[in-house]
Structure 1
Amino acid sequence: MKNRLYPGVAIAALTAMTALPAVSQDLPDTMVWTSYDVGSAGYAEASAIADAFGKEFGTRVRIQPSGSGIGRLQPLLTGRADYGFLATEAFFVSEGAYDFAIKDWGPQQLRAVAGRPAGITLIAAGDAGIETVADAKGKRIAFVAGNPSVNVKCEAILAFGDLTLDDVEIVTFPTYAAAMSSMTRNESDATCTTPTTSQLYELAESPRGIFYAPLEADNEDGWNKLLNVLPIMGPSDEDIAAGLPEGEIAKMAAYRYPVITTTPDKSADDVYAFIKALDESYDLYKDGTATMKRWSLDLSGKPAIDVPFHEGAIRYLKEKGIWTDEDDAWNQKRTERLDALVAAWEEFAPQNADLSEEEFAQAWMDRRAEVVAGLN
């Protein structure tokens, strides 16, 4: 591979004032998307795509940025947003895991439209003395409040170095942007994120500098420990990263970010029109950031991804010759897992409503593990 709720609302694209070929797309005049904070890779990419939609189809997009997974999900699940540019909170909420293993949440039905491949590793200030993941022992690691997407990946990456959260000093910041910029301010020593987040370029140019702790593909023991915590990543060679000299490779983990996500009750025709527009406006946004070429549907429209693909997206991907029988099999299996967890929750939640939040969450995580084991 070659490689950014409510309070902040950004207008990412304005209606184009030229003749537009949008009739065939049947896109709405306006849409609302959620994304990570301003300054994140997800926000930058959502903004570039929104701008392309405005220029090509006259669609006006309003982006609601939020530093927490819950803040990005709530507008989507309550119908106040059409699509979310999500991170791994899409996987977690579909499982009812971590921050979503509580009475008010549980497994939620979501569907993917597309999601580009992304890299992640432990990213440290250059003067922090962290050359391997194991070197992070006793160091200050930046976490984001209410954001299991970042935090659990960091927990998994620390496990690669045979470390647990007890082996490091967790410093929790209220927003993603605050956590990512904390190293430059010397409020933390390392964090885990995508290597093209804008704050990392500032870190790379700062007196502290930047360093990417390697996740070597041939470290079988390290990878087994990482995947025991979070089984949705794999080895990745990344050559686009803040402060990485041209021609060098950083050994990271790969996952999907951002994942364009919607609800299953979004009509197939609406989602078909959206992914068709995403494809046909590709030339307008592909140079928007260093990694946006990865939105090509031959990369972003394929499993594995955090949640099942939406039927409207699959229809278009089949027309393009991208979607295969193997992809259908993956999607069916992922849908069965999600349906099984939702059904288990519907039985479990009322039966355990009298438990404390902590007891409830632990009991659900145990039940979830049973359901997942029964599917294998």
Structure 2
Amino acid sequence: MTIKLMTAAAFTALTALPAMSQEMPDTMVWTAYDVGSAGYAEASAIADAFGKQFGTRVRIQPSGSGIGRLQPLLQGRADYAFLATEAFFMSEGAFDFAVPEWGPHQLRTVAGRPAGITLITAADAGIDTVADAKGKRIAFVAGNPSVNVKCEAILAFGGLTLDDVEIVTFPTYAAAMSSMTRNESDATCTTPTTSQLYELAESPRGIHYAPLEADNQQGWDQLLKVLPIMGPSDEDIAAGLAEGEIAKMAAYRYPVITTTPDKSADEVYAFTKALDETYDLYKDGTATMVRWSLDVAGRPPIDVPFHEGAIRYLKEKGIWTEEDDAWNQKRIARLDAMVAAWDEFKAANPDLEGEAFAEAWMARRAEVVAGLN
């Protein structure tokens, strides 16, 4: 009887443990932006929660470049990468990845925190709507396609191209963001809580958020042709925004938790479930981490398609919809088309190098995009 009671007690103790503790690995490696960045801070908070809940030890490899964050993932030395828009750029073989050594690669996401962005202007610049930016000075950042391509997309919302505005390029992100206060530019595109914007709001020029209204279908169609990874967003936390006011913006994802499609569905399912189950442990890690709730972070649009393992969990939670599934299938088709076009392009242009290669490929990429439904 004693043996039976001991066996029953042991079985009860085992079954009382969280199911995930049997599924999560002992150790994991993630990549993220540099120490001090929002991406690193959020990855660290989630890693700490995984350690407390499941005993999983996570090593985070920081890198200041998109390539540095992606290489360990593709080489199998990292399990997940906390990425910015380089996830989309790599899936398209664009910018830094428009070189023979890189090109489009298959990637999949688990989730990504929404971050607001719009055309942010000096209030005295005479820019009420995006269309009003025609002929105005727009601050860009040298060597930062992640920021600049979002601005190009937002300008498209107002029916504008880069030729319709005066691009003023600054050497650093900080210099570009503070340029409006110094009256060196009239507008830029960034998140609404960047520190330099609070200075602009308090300056004689003041601050204004050009609205990206959700019901402007034409505007959104034009924006998404340039960058199909954003959606409408109502922001209530922004520099100079009065309490209770809402600014109509776009939402992109940063960080985007990314992995490879050959990562097993069971592993990604377990990771997604862990991300959900530890939410209460990390949601207060930074001011914006409440947006990691999967009903927000686990829905498209996002930079790359969702992994099948993540979708399985999202369906179980009642989060994933038929519309989400249609978006995902369309995004997979686009990525597949890019990879196929890249293979054909490389085979047909063995002698192209450097800038000539990148320009020719980007022209071919534009043709592929134009041919998609």
Do the structures match in fold with TM over 0.5? yes
Letter in 2 for 1:28: D
Q: In terms of mean alpha carbon deviation, does 104-113 or 317-326 score higher?
A: 317-326
Task: Name the residue aligned to 1:318.
Answer: 315
* RMSD, matched Cα: 3.3
Task: Name the residue aligned to 1:279.
Answer: 276
Cα shift at 1:280: 0.8
Structure 1 residues 29 and 125, CA gap change in structure 2 (3 angstroms) = farther
Q: How does 1:129-148 map to 2 (within 5 A)?
A: 130-133=127-130, 134-135=132-133, 137-145=135-143, 147-148=144-145
Cα shift at 1:148: 2.3
Q: How does 1:108-127 map to 2 (within 5 A)?
A: 108-124=105-121
Asked if 2 retains the 8 angstrom alpha-carbon contact of 1:177 and 1:199, the reply is yes
Instruction: Establish whether residue 261 from structure 1 lines up as the match of residue 258 from structure 2.
Output: yes
Task: Name the residue aligned to 2:244.
Answer: 247
Cα shift at 1:371: 3.5
Asked if 2 retains the 8 angstrom alpha-carbon contact of 1:103 and 1:353, the reply is no
Task: Name the residue aligned to 1:45.
Answer: 42
Q: 2: distance between equivalents of 1:143 and 1:226?
A: 20
Asked if 2 retains the 8 angstrom alpha-carbon contact of 1:34 and 1:85, the reply is yes
Structure 1 residues 45 and 156, CA gap change in structure 2 (3 angstroms) = same
Cα shift at 1:115: 1.5
Task: Name the residue aligned to 1:5.
Answer: none
1:93-116 Cα offsets, whole Å, 9 max, x none, are 112234422322211111001123
Asked if 2 retains the 8 angstrom alpha-carbon contact of 1:267 and 1:312, the reply is yes
Question: Which entry has the higher C-alpha Rg, 1 or 2?
Answer: 2
Instruction: Establish whether residue 303 from structure 1 lines up as the match of residue 300 from structure 2.
Output: yes
SS of the residue aligned with 1:85? strand
Letter in 2 for 1:192: C
1:36-70 Cα offsets, whole Å, 9 max, x none, are 77344x3443333233223333423425142x433
Asked if 2 retains the 8 angstrom alpha-carbon contact of 1:39 and 1:177, the reply is no
Residue 94 (structure 2) aligned to one of 86, 94, 97:
97
Residue 362 (structure 2) aligned to one of 355, 358, 365:
365
Residue 21 (structure 2) aligned to one of 8, 20, 23:
23
Task: Name the residue aligned to 2:340.
Answer: 343
Task: Provide the TM-score with structure 2 as the length reference.
Answer: 0.80
Residue 60 (structure 1) aligned to one of 55, 58, 61:
58
Task: Provide the TM-score with structure 1 as the length reference.
Answer: 0.79
Matched positions, count: 353
Q: In terms of mean alpha carbon deviation, does 206-215 or 359-368 score higher?
A: 206-215
Q: How does 1:285-296 map to 2 (within 5 A)?
A: 285-296=282-293
Asked if 1 retains the 8 angstrom alpha-carbon contact of 2:49 and 2:278, the reply is yes
Structure 1 residues 24 and 206, CA gap change in structure 2 (3 angstroms) = farther
Cα shift at 1:252: 1.0
Task: Name the residue aligned to 1:12.
Answer: none
Q: 2: distance between equivalents of 1:28 and 1:328?
A: 32
Q: How does 1:129-168 map to 2 (within 5 A)?
A: 130-133=127-130, 134-135=132-133, 137-145=135-143, 147-166=144-163, 167-168=165-166
Task: Name the residue aligned to 2:13.
Answer: none
Q: Structure 2: state its 5+ residue gaps.
A: 1-16
Higher helix share: 2
Letter in 2 for 1:170: V
SS of the residue aligned with 2:141? strand
Structure 1 residues 48 and 207, CA gap change in structure 2 (3 angstroms) = farther
Q: 1: distance between equivalents of 2:181 and 2:58?
A: 35
Instruction: Establish whether residue 192 from structure 1 lines up as the match of residue 189 from structure 2.
Output: yes
Q: 2: distance between equivalents of 1:129 and 1:39?
A: 33
Q: 1: distance between equivalents of 2:285 and 2:176?
A: 24
Q: 2: distance between equivalents of 1:151 and 1:119?
A: 15
Asked if 1 retains the 8 angstrom alpha-carbon contact of 2:137 and 2:167, the reply is yes
Task: Name the residue aligned to 1:331.
Answer: 328
Residue 30 (structure 2) aligned to one of 27, 32, 55:
32
**Percent pairwise identity:** 75
Structure 1 residues 65 and 98, CA gap change in structure 2 (3 angstroms) = closer
Q: Structure 1: state its 5+ residue gaps.
A: 1-19
Letter in 2 for 1:151: N
Structure 1 residues 108 and 206, CA gap change in structure 2 (3 angstroms) = farther
Task: Name the residue aligned to 1:86.
Answer: 83
